[in-house]
Amino acid sequence: MLLNADLSQRVVIHTDEILWVDSPMAGVQRRMLERDGDEVARATTIVRYAPGSSFDPHTHGGGEEFLVLDGVFSDDKGDYPVGTYVRNPVGSSHTPFSKEGATILVKLWQMSPEDREQKVINTVNNPWHPGLVEGLEVMPLHNYGAENVALVKWQPGKVFQRHGHYGGEEIYVIEGVFEDEHGTYPQGTWIRNPHGSIHTPFSKEGCLIYVKTGHLG
């Protein structure tokens, strides 16, 4: 399956407008954002676990990264409440489930085999740091090679300078409304800006976004 698989193309998806698609496991549904492959694939997906649902034990041959958007997601290693960021390196295994239901943003097969750090961060309790301009706060989540992952909190009315993205940029709007000269992106919007793209981002009402850069070169 090929879905938004050309990484040189800009993509904007309002995920609330996408239908949920059943996965191979009962009670687990997906909104596919990008995919290059079949059931084992390079993919970015929003996955929804119904209360009491589970997935079979499996190994992540290309690594896994996820952010819990709603509810409590769990596996045999622990429980991950809303706001938890997790990285499971290449070759890691687990048995995921959710007792009360959960929604997660998941990225598969997008991790270097040399990046071996397993990571669990509860962003609700993690400290924020001043951004490059007043009115922006940043929470670094991961860095490896050219790849950087962070949460960025925008105060209302803030504008960032015009800039380009070497290695591309990916954004998911967690709260509020993010904007640039190309459009307006409410909560739930997924944006992929390719290598070399340029924009001037801002937020009139304020927002919280997940940002990943440097991985699309």
Q: Give yes or no: residues 73 and 161 share one domain.
A: no
Nearest to 49, CA basis, from 118, 95, 109, 108: 95
pLDDT of residue 40: 77
CA distances from 69 to 101, 128, 174 (A): 11, 19, 8
Q: Are residues 137 and 107 in the same domain?
A: no
The CATH number of the domain holding residue 39 is 2.60.120.10
Q: 66 with 86: CB under 8 angstroms?
A: yes
Structure confidence by residue, pLDDT tens digits, 6-20: 999 999 999 999 999
Query: Is 112 found in the same domain as 171?
Result: no
For residue 39, what pLDDT band results from cuts at 50, 70 and 90? Answer: confident
Q: What is the mean pLDDT of the chain?
A: 96
% of the chain residues with pLDDT over 90: 94
* Cβ 40 vs Cβ 64: under 8 Å: no
Q: Are residues 52 and 108 in the same domain?
A: yes
Q: Which amino acid is at 105?
A: L
Q: Say if residue 147 is in the same domain as residue 115.
A: no
pLDDT digits (tens, 9 = 90+) for 54-66: 988 989 999 999 9
Number of domains in the chain: 2
Last residue of a domain, one of 65, 88, 122: 122
pLDDT range class, residue 88, cuts 50, 70, 90: very high
Same domain, 201 and 156: yes
User: What does the alpha-carbon distance between residue 20 and residue 164 come to, in Å, rounded to a whole number?
Assistant: 34
Residue 57: burial class (beta carbons within 10 Å; 0-12, 13-18, 19+): exposed
Domain stops at, among 96, 122, 148:
122
For residues 73 and 34, state if they share a domain.
yes
Instruction: Answer whether 70's CB lies under 8 Å from 102's CB.
Output: yes
Segment 134-145 shows an average pLDDT of 97
Asked if residue 209 has pLDDT above 80, the reply is: yes
Same domain membership, residue 158 and residue 96? no
Q: Does residue 118 sit in the same domain as residue 133? A: no
Q: Which domain holds residue 116?
A: 2-122
Check residue 214 and report its DSSP letter: S
Question: Do 11 and 118 have their domain in common?
Answer: yes
The residue out of 100, 122, 144 marking a domain boundary is 122
Tell me: do 11 and 53 sit in the same domain. yes
- 97 and 200 inside one domain: no
Q: For residue 189, give the H/E element and its range.
A: strand 189-193
